[in-house]
Each structure stands twice: as structure tokens, then as C-alpha cells.
Amino acid sequence: MSSNTLANAIIAPSILSADFTKLGQELNDVERGGADWIHIDVMDGHFVPNISYGPIIVEACKKATKLILDVHLMIEKPDLIIPKFAKAGADLISVHAEACTHLHRTIQLIKSLDNERYKDKNKDKNSSKEKCDVTDISKNGFEEQNKCDGNKIKAGVALNPATPLSAIEWVIDDIDFILIMSVNPGFGGQKFIQSSVEKIQSLAAMLKSRGSKAIIQVDGGIAADTIGKVSAAGATSFVAGSAIFKTSDYNETIKMLRIEAAVS
């Protein structure tokens, strides 16, 4: 991995492992600790065997933090509720290829929706720069991976551990990021699946061969002892739940994750 990995690594704490009795404080703490995105895992009890939360939590997070809200929909029939998450304040929305009958249509739905973060700015018809300014969407280079798109929501596709990369082969040109699940979705704190490294390597090669600027995100078992290998394989966005929220010093933990991501 290049020497600028330390700066480019996108650390996305998953609030699934946060203390919900003080969620606002938890968000403030990871923001001050140097996090880049907030990862919000949405579970419906059908696609995965657990239930988490809905758009109201996204709305609450939007009020509590200025960080990018990265909404991961682990739900059936996501098209029915995607607009509600967009309205609640999602900046990025990822859906599972396994849950979408018409994946291309679902991606286009996400990309057609306005980012609420910039809605007021875009009312100023004389400010063309603000209309096309995607540089605020991420601190660590996400904007460099994407062309100006009028501040639409970014679309991602998630793949379960057993789902082959061929599931996204014909939508690569339409997505902004791919989320590789390195555990089976549904619960936090699971052990990292080692074969995910080879999958990430293959995906990185696929993206390069297609000339895609989509970034690779990894979710599941990400910690100090695993982030380096997935970074070396080609990932640049790292979702970490218990590895961050179960520690006493978020700043030191996030700093250590960045260092380990660069040591590869």
C-alpha cells in the first residue's frame, strides 16, 4: 500500500456497537477521535436474523454529528424504504445484491435522490460551485473517486461472504463503492473471515481492469490485527464496531487503526 494510506484510510465506526443510552455523546466522541464516516447498520429481522433501527436513528445522527452518514441496508425490498433514509439524512446508501431482484434499478433509485445535507445550498441557482461541490462529502479522498454529480446520494452494493463478485460485474460502472462483508451479516463482534482478503484482491483487480473509481469498503471483524491485510488487498474504507466502541480511548484506537492500515 502506498505511503499515503494513513491519510486516505476512511474509518467508519459502526454504531451497532455504540452505547445507545448516550448515542449523541458516542457520536461526538468518535468525531473528536478522528472518525470519517458513521456506519449505520439497518436490519429488518428477515434478510438477517436481527432487528436494529430505522430512519429515525439516521435523522438523530444527522442532528448529532457532521460526519458522513453511511447507511448499510441489510433488509428485504430496500426500494420501498430507500427514499425515507434519504430524507432522514443518509449521505451514502448501500444495499445487498442478494436482496435486490432488480439491482440496477435499485442503484439508480439511490443515485436519483438528493443529499439532504446540501438541499438548502442547492436552492441558490446562482451558486453553480455549491451545486457541484462534492468535496464536502468526505475528508479522506472519497470525493476524488467520484465526478461531480449534483450532490446526489452515493450508492453502494454489499456482498455477503459467499456471494461471488460476478453479482456486481454489470453494475460496476454505476456504483460508488462496494462493501465486502468479511463476516456473515446480522450481528456485531464476529470473527473475521480470512478468505475475504482474496476476495478483496480480486475485486481490486476487477475494478482496475474496468477503469472503475469505486472504492472498496470492508465490514466485519475489522480491528488492529486485520485492517492491515484488507488495506494491502485494496480496501480504503473500514467499518469497525466493537474494535472502537468497546475501547476506552476512541482517539487512540482510531489512530492505531490508521497506523495499522498503513503498515502493509
Catalytic residue among 29, 44, 70, 219: 219
150 phi/psi in degrees, rounded to 5: 75, 20
Contact present, 90 and 71 (Cβ < 8 Å): yes
Residue 216's SS3 state is strand
Question: In the chain, what is the straight-line distance between the N-terminal and C-terminal CA atoms, in Å?
Answer: 6
Residue 37's SS3 state is strand
Catalytic residue among 29, 41, 44, 70: 41
Q: Which amino acid is at 124?
A: D
In the residue annotation, 149 being an active-site residue is answered as no
- How many degrees, rounded to 5, is the angle at CA 50 between CA 48 and CA 54? 95
Composition of the chain by helix, strand, coil, percent to 5:
45, 20, 40
CA distances from 204 to 177, 198, 220, 253 (A): 11, 10, 18, 27
In the residue annotation, 44 being an active-site residue is answered as no
Q: Which residues are catalytic?
A: 41, 219
